[in-house]
Amino acid sequence: HIECAKIIWGDKWSAYDSDMQKQLRENVKNIEYGYLYMAQLDTLHKTMLKAGNMIKLQDLALAIDKLTKAMPDIKGWQTGTIARAMQPPHELRDFVLGRRRCWPMGNVEGPEAVNASVQFAAAAIMNTGMALMMPKLDAYQQAWPIAQIHDAAVFECWEDDAERLAADCKESFEQTYERSGRTIPFPIDVKIGPSWDRV
């Protein structure tokens, strides 16, 4: 998200303080997802306005144009993903666990196929982290998984065990995969707080 924000804001990015950069990063998420998952410009604009992002249509178009120029291979990836889903056996598989999503008769909606290919992999990476983490909880006097929401997992433990549990989380959830001849790291941020809403 930060890299996409830097693309959109260009030279202005470094002039903003960290609080403003954080806000811009959050605002760019909708633009980024809309672009990656093939949202129509008008639909994305309406969605952003409903979410309280008061962006002009022409500014949104400019932001998407910047992303398109900075990442020209995205269009090829989108087209290739849809083409694979449309060809027999009309399925896509994630590159982590190999789970599949099928479209009978090849009736594929482009945005659905593109979204599925990414979400499958993200869920598989998260599930792999949870599977690696769960046995480690037995080593603690008391430690529990509280929630897993998208790309976040929340654990609770005694305060004295927090640093050790954080290290175990980092070891379990931080993963690296090979894909199309590239090594793709999936780093994580670990935070410790006194309560679930103060991290």
Beta bridge partner(s), residue 182: 179
Contact assessment for residue 36 and residue 118, using Cβ atoms and an 8 Å cutoff = yes
Beta bridge partner(s), residue 184: 177
Q: What integer pLDDT is reported at residue 195 of this predicted model?
A: 82
pLDDT in tens, 34-45: 999 999 999 999
Q: What integer pLDDT is reported at residue 107 of this predicted model?
A: 87
Q: Is the pLDDT of residue 174 over 90?
A: yes
**Residue 119 class from Cβ within 10 Å (0-12 exposed, 13-18 middle, 19+ buried)?**
middle
Q: Is the pLDDT of residue 162 over 90?
A: yes
The set of residues, in sequence order, having a beta carbon less than 8 Å from that of 109 and lying 6+ positions away, is none
Instruction: Report the alpha-carbon distance of residue 132 to residue 134 in Å, rounded.
Output: 6
Q: What integer pLDDT is reported at residue 171 of this predicted model?
A: 96
Q: Is the pLDDT of residue 105 over 90?
A: no
Q: What integer pLDDT is reported at residue 126 of this predicted model?
A: 93
Provide the whole-model pTM. Answer: 0.75
Q: What integer pLDDT is reported at residue 150 of this predicted model?
A: 84
**Mean pLDDT of the residues in the chain:** 91
Torsion angle (degrees, nearest 10) of CA 147, 153, 154, 156? 100
Instruction: Report the alpha-carbon distance of residue 172 to residue 149 in Å, rounded.
Output: 17
Q: What integer pLDDT is reported at residue 26 of this predicted model?
A: 86
Q: What integer pLDDT is reported at residue 176 of this predicted model?
A: 92
Contact assessment for residue 156 and residue 186, using Cβ atoms and an 8 Å cutoff = no
pLDDT in tens, 37-70: 999 999 999 988 998 888 899 999 999 999 999 9
